Amino acid sequence: MSGKNLSGQVAIVTGASRGIGKAISLALAAEGMNLALTATQIGNLSEVLDLVRSLGVRAESFACDLANWREIPRLVNDITTCFGSLDVLVNNAGYSVRASLVETAPEDLERCMQVNAMAPFVLCQKLFPFLCRSQQATVINIGSVVAFKGYEQQSAYGASKHALLGLSKVMALEWKKYGIRVHSINPGAVDTEMIRQMRPGLDPQGMIGTEDIADLIVFLLTHRGRAVIDDIHMRRATGDPWY
């Protein structure tokens, strides 16, 4: 894809072990970006780490349970000590639970809020000084269609993605003066493990591909010009336009 050269820039991708995060990691590595990849366990990242390194970039894996925000300062310290600088943060890691509102356990609500909203919040706070030093600083938050529309059986997940959208809006405003761009990407059903658990009846054939999201992120980063795209809604081609 043509546009700005990303080679040598540093990106963090959370939830890089599979699904959308894996596709994003491969796409950014193909653009020459050096990568800090995170998941709950180092072992979960070994396959994607090998794939990314085979593209010739520097990549390291970091374990952190993002459900525990107290772990995040340590994660940030480990990554920034290792790479020294940061240009792009992709808040992709996500947790979902399929249950009606009445049946949702408080622990599940708590975990959704922690992983999907609180972790991006604290990560952004702690990485702010590093982002400020980049000429291309960008935060990309992977939201969801559930941040805009209610879905049955998704109250905890939907609430957490609404919270993430709120964070994206304020961060974009507050950090504009520092030249830090914030994008919110809000897909419908993407063909990953998560959607198979959340929407078991949905045909994978009609779903968004993980590479569609990755391509979009490469576009946003390489076409950083005088226009800014705040949020993107992406739906299944088989779904209805305008929801």
Ligand X SMILES: NC(=O)c1ccc[n+]([C@@H]2O[C@H](COP(=O)([O-])OP(=O)(O)OC[C@H]3O[C@@H](n4cnc5c(N)ncnc54)[C@H](OP(=O)(O)O)[C@@H]3O)[C@@H](O)[C@H]2O)c1
Nearer to ligand X, 142 or 182 (CB): 142
By CB under 6 A, tell whether 128 contacts ligand X. no
Listed ranges 26-34, 72-80, 100-108, 184-192: which one lies at the site for ligand X (CB under 6 A)? 184-192
Q: Does 37 bind ligand X (CB under 6 A)?
A: no
> Minimum Å distance from CB 142 to ligand X?
4
- Nearest-angstrom CA–CA distance, 125 and 122: 5
For residue 232, with 0-12 CB atoms within 10 Å meaning exposed, 13-18 middle and 19 or more buried, which class applies? middle
161 catalytic? Reply is yes
Residue from 95, 157, 177, 243 carrying the catalytic annotation = 157
Residue 182 CB, shortest distance to ligand X, in Å, is: 16
Shortest reach from residue 44's CB to ligand X, in Å = 4
Residues in region 82-111 near ligand X by CB under 6 A? 92-96
> Is residue 131 within the footprint of ligand X (CB under 6 A)?
no
The phi, psi pair for 90, rounded to 5°, reads: -110, 105
| Of residues 42-71, those binding ligand X (CB under 6 A) | 44, 65-67
Which candidate, 93, 100, 117, places its Cα nearest to that of 41? 93
**What angle separates helix 210-222 from helix 19-30, to the nearest 10 degrees?**
40
Q: Work out whether 41 is an interface residue with ligand X (CB under 6 A).
A: yes
Given the complex with ligand X, which of 155 and 192 has the nearer CB atom?
192
- Asked if 145 and 92 touch (Cβ cutoff 8 Å), the reply is no
Q: Which of residues 135-174 bind ligand X (CB under 6 A)?
A: 142, 144
Answer yes or no whether residue 192 interacts with ligand X by CB under 6 A.
yes
Distance CA 147, CA 143 (A): 7
Q: Clarify whether 4 is annotated catalytic.
A: no
Q: Which of 6, 10, 12, 15 binds ligand X (CB under 6 A)?
A: 15
Please tell me whether residue 189 adopts helix, strand or coil conformation: coil
User: Pick the catalytic residue: 161, 169, 177, 178?
Assistant: 161
**168: amino acid identity, one letter:** S
The dihedral sign for the CA sequence 158, 159, 163, 166: positive
Contacts of 211 (CB under 8 A, 6+ apart): 23, 27
Q: To the nearest whole angstrom, how small is the minimum distance from the Cβ of residue 96 to ligand X?
A: 6
Cα-Cα end-to-end distance for the chain: 29
Which residues carry out catalysis?
157, 161
Residues binding ligand X (CB under 6 A):
15-21, 39-41, 44, 65-67, 92-96, 115, 142, 144, 187, 189-190, 192-195
